[in-house]
Structure 1
Amino acid sequence: MFTYLSSLPSRARILLDPGQMRLLIRRSEFGLIAVAAVVGALAGLAVAVMSWISQALHEAIFDIGSGERLSSATGLDRGTVLLAPIAGGILLGLLFLVLRKWRKKPMVDPIEANALHGGRLSLTDSIVVAVQNLISNGFGASVGLEAGYTQLSSGIASKLGFLLQLRRADLRILVGCGAAGAIAAAFNAPLTGAFYAFELIIGTYTILSLAPVVVSALAATIVTRLFVGDAFLLDVGDFGVVMPADYLPAIVLGIFCAGGGILIMQGVTFIEEMARKSSISPAFRPALGGIAVGLLALIDHQVLSAGHGALHLNLNQNMTIPALLALLAMKSLASAVSIGSGFRGGLFFASLFMGALLGKLFAYSAPYIFVHATLTPVIYAVVGMSALSVAIIGGPLTMTFLALEITGDFAITVLALAAVITSSVTVRSTFGYSFATWRFHLRGESIRSAHDVGWIRNLTVGRLMRSDVRTAPVGMSLDEFRKEFRLGATQRVVLVDEERRYAGMILLSDIYAAPREDSDETRTLASFARYQNDVLLPTMNAKQAAAIFDNLEAEALAVVNNQTERKVVGQLSESHTLRRYSEELDRRRREISGEI
């Protein structure tokens, strides 16, 4: 391989050698931008292929016309509507049984990958998630394809970055580029895709990440438009004019959307919890969920799939309040059951659809409360889409730019921004999580965003401690101790019992500062011991260790293998912990600012 590379021209060697490519990317922003453009093109292609497969499944299974959307199709066979989600659930159950033996580790999504693993994401797992998402959506479960889009695109980006041996900060940006391309292509909205990456995948906005993410979003949009044309465009039609008196109703709508988002997230959690507490095997849960979705679809097939066709159908259609309430309730229940029972997918587009329904529902009551409001039901629908989506998905600017790119109207965008901020603040104040971070919380993770906290977890006590610890038996006499440990030989000695378990820490200064009298014969070494019950564990991170040092006002502590055996394995000082913690903090700051 190396002989072959050396025989190539210098430019070709740079393009084929990962080490040379890595140097090119690190020395020039244009290198990372070029890779981001490739990632965006691949993301756009992935979105086009997945959408084509999903549509082909809908046409084959439900016998709908070419290009017709499932949720707005007419004349569907009632038996197929009932049985298709059940068949999809059975397929997912069989796939679960295969994966349980083949893939032991839990699958990581882009947010978790960037938060904990420095952008490392398994491409194999991403393909598996995309296939599960296609089965779920293709057989009519009430989930969107956006989860599969972002997972697959981010997995491709991570794999490419790994092959190029990119550093941690660049790899995290590249994963964000993959997600940006996926969302931009899915909604024909480059700004929405870019800020989805900044707010939800990378976790921060920097000048260094701006160009790659935007280029990736643009490239993905262009590639997808080449393959699928205007299939992803959201046409809201005529929407009227915004007046100053319309801002208060929009803010109130934001509060209602926040409440609706919390209820939907809690509903998904409730169904998942009920499934876990039951004796039903995870392999059978999707099929049971498919029964519920199929029964709901018999009442109104608009609950099937993500709801693209249903959204367009309802935006400019006059509906009665009972009909809106019924459709909103059924779509919410179908989505919660689909996710909670084990179907794979996301709530991005479903939240847009439900937000539009909630907005139109609010529009019918607004004239009786806000006399001077002039908003049309379509504007309320657009504002509701953004406000409910930010409550569930997160990303205030993401949803604001989505409103801008859907309508092309700045006045409506400002109106949506007011509702989005209200909804976001309300959810954070009362609930504290978006849908993704709420699910992390239920798993026991403390992730609130995609901010890089993985380096903190990697900076463990086990990596920082010294293993060459001076120890002494707890039963040793003071004279023996003084002979064994001369003043100045060390600062601290760890006491251990007969089974080598931790019994405390001795400061030599305490021993030699004590007066040497006849009473020494009655005074034991254990009487000088400190921190008998205070130890560190190797699995603790530097932040946790620093908090313990601060609480105890200790300069150093012993490290034991676990709280049960308490065998001494090392010692860690506060000064070394804080120095290494500060060095890593400074390193991350310089990575973000592009200094290294």
Structure 2
Amino acid sequence: MHVPARRHVRLLRHRVRRAVALRSFVRTSEVAIVLLASLTGALVGVIAWGMGAAAAAMHLLLFGIAPQMRLSATSVVASWRLLLVPVLGGLALHGLNRLLRRWRPKPPVDPIEANALHGGRLTLSDAAVVGLQTIVSNGVGASVGLEAGYAQAGGGLASRLGALFALRRGDLRVLVGAGTAGAIGAAFDAPLTGAFYAFELVIGTYSIGSLFPVVASAVAATLVARLLQAGTYAVGSVAPTVVDTELYPLALLVGALSGLAAIALMRGVALTELALTRAIPSSALRLMLGGLCVGGLAMVSTVALSAGHGALHLAFITETPARLLLLLIVVKSLASMVSVASGFRGGLFFASLLIGALGGKLFAGILALIAPPGPDALVMSLVGMSAFGAAVIGAPLAMTFLALETTGSLAVAGLVLAAVAVAGLIVRRLFGYSFATWRFHLRGEAIRSAHDIGWINDLTAGRLMRRDPRTAAASMDLDAFRKAVPLGAATQVVLLDEGGRYAGLVSVAEAHAAPPETGTVGALARLRDRVLLPRTNARDAMAIFEAAEAEALVVVDGPGRRVLGLLTEAHLLRRYGEEVEKRRREESGIAPG
């Protein structure tokens, strides 16, 4: 070998050793994971700035608004633009979707779904798909926010970095949560909101171990967004530092009304989507019709367009008659329902904040008519914004911190906490889903939160079974069976028919205790119709064991009933308990995963 070639080989080996050492350090060091989360947050802050800038540029170009204006707050958009841009935008989104499906035929995996089912595994291609779809949808005026794209980008980037360092399942889930925390923190200029969004929605639990990387990412992303002057969804208002205790019963009532209204909105999206799908099979026509409906509603008020940032700012600082507030709530709700149901990509995060703020202000206005002067309209707007947002998004503490970071008022945060608790309780008891998990439910996914249930699906009968069970022919004479399988040689024996198919299970002790006139061993067969399939997960298998009252069950290949193995209930319970303990320790942070 030539000298340059040898040097090249030595250099390559040295680089490999360094890479392996670095991966080992990150996998075993809590500080390294925090640093990795900080890097993720900084990158997500740049992405949030870029996505927000792209959507704003589309608003300027397509709707002709002034550079410093927000689309939902302007009143000078030409009527032909209001109607034409969303319709043609829907057609353009359909074309983009077709191109993206050729490149990425599988539907994107949401960060919540990834953490619940796939151990935090996401792809950057999913982030790119969702990001492009949300930018186009928001840019053409559909009543959706960019927060879904932000969260997807943050989670995808975090998952990719975690995979490069071969992080354990628990650490990868936390890092994905940290990525979404940075995304939401940068989007709203609110790091605490981003952090608790991640805890409540993406990680599914709070622990000391997950606190440091999540907070590091949220703070880093927010600081980068501020340096870039992203100004994405930052919500600003001035609220009183002291509130009357008499406002607490009103806050509880606003919370209850917000919970009921949120259920109506979420069910309305599902019913609208079902109706449109049945009436219009073509996705292109559905998107164009959705754009036409949004444009028509924008003719009534531009509050129907885009996420509604400018409209929310106006809701905080302007006096609005009760009738107009009710009209704005109806317009925004219908626009959001139609946008999501027709196929535009995006979230209801910011739309729910706007609808809730308008609802709280309407509540204050009605009380002012009944018993002047009524409660502070701004305070009720903040309470309604947070309560309705918590009911739709499913993150009560995140919404509480959003109110705190918006106003800087602990007194208002106390009112908000009471309202979001009531709203969340009503949705939980009467509906059982947030908007994200409701969408998963409609797709057939059994996801109620981001708690890790993917390991249960991975823990299957096929993985746990013993692959070499003792077998015997069901037609074997009982005396011959006793000689072939003496006591102590096995506990259970699988019986097979003439075709080699499963014919039941027999206890060796019972076979040796049976009277001579029994005949063949097949007469003692049990559990002929109680079997497991290789893909039966641990939870379903435990239910089958309980229903069969069996100590062991045979795993067969399906209709052919070919025996693959034998699984005992004791082994299943032991392995399930070990996995539960492992996940508990991962979530608590008291031991590496």
TM bucket by the smaller chain?
over 0.9
- Please say if 1:538 is aligned against 2:545: no
Give 3-state SS (helix, strand or coil) of 1:472's partner: strand
User: Match for 1:474: what amino acid?
Assistant: A
CA RMSD, 1 decimal: 2.0
Residues 373, 24 of structure 1: CA spacing in aligned structure 2 closer, same or farther, 3 A cutoff? farther
How big is each residue's C-alpha offset from its partner over 1:53-77, in whole Å with a ceiling of 9 and x where there is no partner?
0000000111111121111122101
Give 3-state SS (helix, strand or coil) of 2:532's partner: coil
In the other structure, the counterpart of 1:445 is 445
In the other structure, the counterpart of 1:4 is 11
Aligned mates of 1:76, 1:428 — CA distance in 2: 41
Residues 80, 4 of structure 1: CA spacing in aligned structure 2 closer, same or farther, 3 A cutoff? farther
Aligned mates of 2:333, 2:11 — CA distance in 1: 59
Give 3-state SS (helix, strand or coil) of 2:312's partner: helix
What's the offset of the Cα at 1:469? 2.5
Residues 545-564 of structure 1: pairs in structure 2 closer than 5 A = 545-562=541-558, 564=559
Residues 2, 189 of structure 1: CA spacing in aligned structure 2 closer, same or farther, 3 A cutoff? farther
User: Match for 1:220: what amino acid?
Assistant: A
Give 3-state SS (helix, strand or coil) of 2:283's partner: coil
User: Match for 1:531: what amino acid?
Assistant: L
What's the offset of the Cα at 1:7? 5.1
In the other structure, the counterpart of 2:477 is 477
In the other structure, the counterpart of 2:434 is 434
In the other structure, the counterpart of 2:567 is 572
Aligned mates of 1:356, 1:324 — CA distance in 2: 10
Residues 172, 511 of structure 1: CA spacing in aligned structure 2 closer, same or farther, 3 A cutoff? same
What's the offset of the Cα at 1:379? 0.7
Give 3-state SS (helix, strand or coil) of 2:561's partner: coil
- Please say if 1:497 is aligned against 2:497: yes
Residues 48-197 of structure 1: pairs in structure 2 closer than 5 A = 48-197=49-198
User: Match for 1:362: what amino acid?
Assistant: F
Give 3-state SS (helix, strand or coil) of 2:220's partner: helix
What's the offset of the Cα at 1:239? 4.9
Aligned mates of 2:325, 2:316 — CA distance in 1: 12
Maintained 8 Å contact 2:154/2:180: yes
In the other structure, the counterpart of 1:36 is 37
What's the offset of the Cα at 1:279? 5.1
Maintained 8 Å contact 2:239/2:412: no
Give 3-state SS (helix, strand or coil) of 2:228's partner: helix
Give 3-state SS (helix, strand or coil) of 1:191's partner: helix
Give 3-state SS (helix, strand or coil) of 1:585's partner: helix
Aligned mates of 2:553, 2:452 — CA distance in 1: 28
- TM-score w.r.t. length of structure 2: 0.95
Give 3-state SS (helix, strand or coil) of 1:569's partner: strand
Aligned mates of 2:231, 2:164 — CA distance in 1: 34
Residues 107, 317 of structure 1: CA spacing in aligned structure 2 closer, same or farther, 3 A cutoff? same
User: Match for 2:37: what amino acid?
Assistant: A
Maintained 8 Å contact 2:239/2:409: no
Number of aligned positions between the proteins: 584
Maintained 8 Å contact 1:245/1:373: no
What's the offset of the Cα at 1:216? 0.7
Give 3-state SS (helix, strand or coil) of 1:280's partner: coil
In the other structure, the counterpart of 2:275 is 274
Give 3-state SS (helix, strand or coil) of 2:246's partner: helix
Give 3-state SS (helix, strand or coil) of 1:216's partner: helix
Aligned mates of 2:528, 2:176 — CA distance in 1: 47
Give 3-state SS (helix, strand or coil) of 1:215's partner: helix
Give 3-state SS (helix, strand or coil) of 2:34's partner: helix
What's the offset of the Cα at 1:508? 1.2
What's the offset of the Cα at 1:102? 3.5
Aligned identity (percent) is 51
- TM-score w.r.t. length of structure 1: 0.94
Aligned mates of 1:390, 1:531 — CA distance in 2: 49
Aligned mates of 2:473, 2:350 — CA distance in 1: 66
Moved more, 45-54 or 70-79: 70-79
Aligned mates of 2:458, 2:106 — CA distance in 1: 19
Residues 6, 504 of structure 1: CA spacing in aligned structure 2 closer, same or farther, 3 A cutoff? closer
In the other structure, the counterpart of 1:454 is 454
In the other structure, the counterpart of 1:359 is 360
Aligned mates of 2:475, 2:372 — CA distance in 1: 86
Moved more, 96-105 or 356-365: 96-105
In the other structure, the counterpart of 2:4 is none
- Please say if 1:527 is aligned against 2:523: yes
Q: 5+ unaligned residues in a row in structure 2: which ranges?
A: 1-7
User: Match for 2:569: what amino acid?
Assistant: E
Aligned mates of 1:489, 1:445 — CA distance in 2: 44
In the other structure, the counterpart of 2:5 is none
How big is each residue's C-alpha offset from its partner over 1:285-308, in whole Å with a ceiling of 9 and x where there is no partner?
212211111111122111100000
What's the offset of the Cα at 1:511? 1.1
How big is each residue's C-alpha offset from its partner over 1:180-230, in whole Å with a ceiling of 9 and x where there is no partner?
001101111010011111111111111111111111111101100111255
Moved more, 403-412 or 572-581: 572-581
In the other structure, the counterpart of 2:584 is 589
Aligned mates of 2:136, 2:185 — CA distance in 1: 23
Maintained 8 Å contact 1:240/1:375: no
Moved more, 136-145 or 266-275: 266-275
Residues 198, 584 of structure 1: CA spacing in aligned structure 2 closer, same or farther, 3 A cutoff? same
Maintained 8 Å contact 2:258/2:384: yes
Residues 241, 365 of structure 1: CA spacing in aligned structure 2 closer, same or farther, 3 A cutoff? farther
